[in-house]
Amino acid sequence: MDVRFENVSKTFGKSAVVDQLNLASDDGELVVLLGPSGCGKTTTLRMLAGLEDATSGDIFIGDERVNDIPTQNRDIAMVFQNYALYPHMTIAQNIAYPLRVRKIARDEINRRVNRVAEMLEIGALLERRPRELSGGERQRVALARAIIREPRVYLMDEPLSNLDAKLRVQMRGELKRLQHDLGTTTIYVTHDQAEAMTLAHRVAVMRAGKLQQFDTPMNIYNRPANRFVAEFVGSPSMNFIEGRVDHSSYKFASDALTLDLDESHLARLSGRDRVTLGIRPEHIEVSTADHPGWLAATVYVTELMGNETFVFLRVGGEKIIARASAEFRAEFESRVFVKIQMERTDFFDSKTGLRI
């Protein structure tokens, strides 16, 4: 079932924590709400769940306007940031609870409990009580209790946040596969951009209650709507250099460095003076040897990640980050050379932040 927000706002006191949100999922789509802490993700989800009233605007599930429909009649299943398990019930009873209240047959309940427990690797915990579980185990139980139902929509608020890195990657794969197999529309909240990129059919990037961009992970990464999206998605972050365009000499010049532009840059930058150049770390080459036209840089620090190296550099007065191969080695403060792949640069309006 598709989900739709039409001009939805939520204000607490004076401040709008969700501001004129327009967002529509397709049926069966996995939409991720992504943004920094406090940007309004949970509030958005809580309004869809009916745990919070929208101050204005309309919320639809399918063709039904749900603003005035109580939570229990919205036919949604949710896992929330602050999930609560029933302390006196076993794990199996906790997971089975949503089916029991719907009077599903015992055999069917057992079959489904075992299936989700296996998927989330909590099969060995079924006879325990919640207090006998670790935080990550409890979180998986909460997730199991949500996905055991087959509702119209799943709502998930950081359901993997308490898991270690390995389990997180594994569970995110399981969730993606489950969502695909069931084809149930899912609204998934996270501030983890890697999770958003890997899970989502489309990502809705929010900032301070405002939707910044709603698009496929590919477009969010390659065609960010503005500087905020460009900076938030990708790790390490995109580099930004403030500067001026000199249309007559085909140059982009910051206080610290000067870069050559070509015809296509100038066409894009027509009529502009101050702009922000954006370049992703993977589009900066680093070498300990000099090459014609490369820029001299100083190594601030390097971080070996195992399969690659992040190189933090100073070029003139600019601090930039480049991704180099795992074999790249350089001492602190050593001199290296970089090439900015100018054909891969983005430009942003220095005032509005919008991508040019």
Ligand X SMILES: Nc1ncnc2c1ncn2[C@@H]1O[C@H](COP(=O)(O)OP(=O)(O)OP(=O)(O)O)[C@@H](O)[C@H]1O
In angstroms, give the least distance from the CB of 46 to ligand X: 7
Choose the one of ligand X, Mg ion, none that binds residue 43, judging by a C-beta under 5 to 8 angstroms depending on kind: ligand X
Choose the one of ligand X, Mg ion, none that binds residue 183, judging by a C-beta under 5 to 8 angstroms depending on kind: none
In angstroms, give the least distance from the CB of 160 to Mg ion: 13
Strand order from edge to edge, sheet including 64-65:
15-24, 3-12, 56-61, 64-65
Tell me which H or E stretch contains 251. strand 251-253
In angstroms, give the least distance from the CB of 119 to Mg ion: 25
Choose the one of ligand X, Mg ion, none that binds residue 37, judging by a C-beta under 5 to 8 angstroms depending on kind: ligand X
Burial class of residue 182, CB neighbours in 10 A (0-12, 13-18, 19+)? middle
Nearer to ligand X, 14 or 351 (CB): 14
Choose the one of Mg ion, ligand X, none that binds residue 191, judging by a C-beta under 5 to 8 angstroms depending on kind: ligand X
Residue 129 three-state SS: coil
In angstroms, give the least distance from the CB of 67 to ligand X: 18
Nearer to ligand X, 92 or 156 (CB): 156
Q: Please name which of 189, 187, 184, 185 lies closest in space to residue 206, comparing C-alpha atoms.
A: 189
Nearer to ligand X, 81 or 170 (CB): 81
Nearer to Mg ion, 8 or 109 (CB): 8
Helices (H), 149-274: 165-182, 193-199, 217-222, 227-232, 263-268
Choose the one of ligand X, Mg ion, none that binds residue 281, judging by a C-beta under 5 to 8 angstroms depending on kind: none
Nearer to ligand X, 212 or 302 (CB): 212
Count the alpha carbons within 13 Å of 35 in the hemisphere toward its beta carbon.
22
Burial class of residue 177, CB neighbours in 10 A (0-12, 13-18, 19+)? exposed
Choose the one of ligand X, Mg ion, none that binds residue 193, judging by a C-beta under 5 to 8 angstroms depending on kind: none
Nearer to Mg ion, 99 or 199 (CB): 199
Peptide linkage before 236 cis (omega within 30 of 0): yes
DSSP 343: G
Choose the one of Mg ion, ligand X, none that binds residue 86, judging by a C-beta under 5 to 8 angstroms depending on kind: none
What is the number of the residue whose Cβ is closest to ligand X?
Answer: 42
Place of tokens 């998930």: 156
Give me 194's structure tokens: 């890697």
From 41-49, 209-217, 227-235, 273-281, give the range in contact with Mg ion by CB under 5 A.
41-49
In angstroms, give the least distance from the CB of 54 to ligand X: 13
From 35-43, 230-238, 323-331, 336-344, give the range in contact with Mg ion by CB under 5 A.
35-43
Residues within the interface to ligand X (CB under 6 A): 12, 17, 35, 37-43, 81, 191
Query: Does the footprint of Mg ion cover residue 42 (CB under 5 A)?
Result: yes
DSSP 120: T
Choose the one of ligand X, Mg ion, none that binds residue 340, judging by a C-beta under 5 to 8 angstroms depending on kind: none
In angstroms, give the least distance from the CB of 81 to Mg ion: 5
Give me 81's structure tokens: 């940031």
What residues contact 333, with CB distance under 8 A and at least 6 apart?
298, 299, 300
Nearer to Mg ion, 42 or 185 (CB): 42
Tell me which H or E stretch contains 45. helix 41-49
Nearer to Mg ion, 29 or 158 (CB): 158
Instruction: Let me know: does 39 contact 195? Beta carbons within 8 Å.
Output: no
Which residues in this chain contact Mg ion in the complex, by CB under 5 A? 42
